[in-house]
Amino acid sequence: MSQHRQVLFVLNKMDLADPQATEKYLARFREEGYMAVPFDSTSGRGLSEVIQAFKTLYHPRAQEMLVKGRRIRPSRIMVVGVPNIGKSTFINCLAGKKMAMTGAKPGITRGKQWIRVREDIELMDTPGLMWPKTESEEQGLKLALLDIVGEKAYQEREVALYLLHLLQVKTPEILTGKLKVSDPGSDPETMLTEIARKRGHLLKAGVLDLAKTCTALLQDFRKGKLGLLSLD
């Protein structure tokens, strides 16, 4: 890698993550010699820290241009990450207006485009990048739970049951508090049925609409309605 190419890790969607888990990731990246900052593209929290990080990383290159008697060009930064992680929203937040297309599903950004977000910063919006293959079934479930893979790649019921299992292991208080589960030690199928009944998700003849419950659970998790959670 060229000495001029620096890496900044932006931990986006910090508003949905467990703050303690975020701090652990920040510490890990910094121990490995990388600059890392948390950010919330929706509210703009962390914006000044991101911009300062850009300036800090670009400073040696800017000084080199000055020494050579050249005009300091805007820093050009490629924004990369998995699908639906908020790259375009991140760019729009820095620009202060909508300049990149956004959407609730993966795959909105189709091609590369350079966007001038400030006089001294240009960002390249890129399509989401994925691993060639998932390493395990659990990794695939996590990608589906985070809405990183398209909805045709997974079964909502399987992912919703995995979510209930995670809550059972990591934060059982969410099961009893927000989801009103009577026994957080019961199996996920039993908990799903109870949640559907308590939410009144019914089909004709009083049959439980478990599909509706699964969709609602995934939406609640992705919108942060279940609380601040991190999967790892």
| Cα 221–chain centre separation | 12
- pTM, two decimals, is 0.82
Sign of the CA dihedral running 77, 78, 80, 86: positive
User: Residue range 81-95: average pLDDT?
Assistant: 87
Least confident of 2-6, 21-25, 66-70, 177-181: 2-6
Across the chain, the runs of DSSP E, i.e. the strands, are 8-11, 35-38, 75-79, 113-118, 121-125
Instruction: Read off the pLDDT band of 101 (50, 70, 90).
Output: low
Residue 60, CA distances (Å) to 4, 6, 7, 97, 119 in order: 8, 11, 14, 29, 18
Instruction: Read off the pLDDT band of 36 (50, 70, 90).
Output: very high
Are 74 and 117 spatial neighbours (Cβ–Cβ below 8 Å)?
Answer: no
Residue with tokens 């019961």: 186
More confident residue, 4 or 151: 151
Residue 37 pLDDT: 96
Residue 1 pLDDT: 41
- Go through the domains of the chain in sequence order and give each one's CATH number: 8-125 (3.40.50.300), 137-222 (1.10.1580.10)
- Rounded to 5°, the CA angle 42-13-166 comes to 140
Residue 4 pLDDT: 53
User: Residue range 82-104: average pLDDT?
Assistant: 78
Residue 100 pLDDT: 60
Beta bridge partners of 149: none
User: Residue range 89-115: average pLDDT?
Assistant: 68
d(CA 32, CA 23): 14
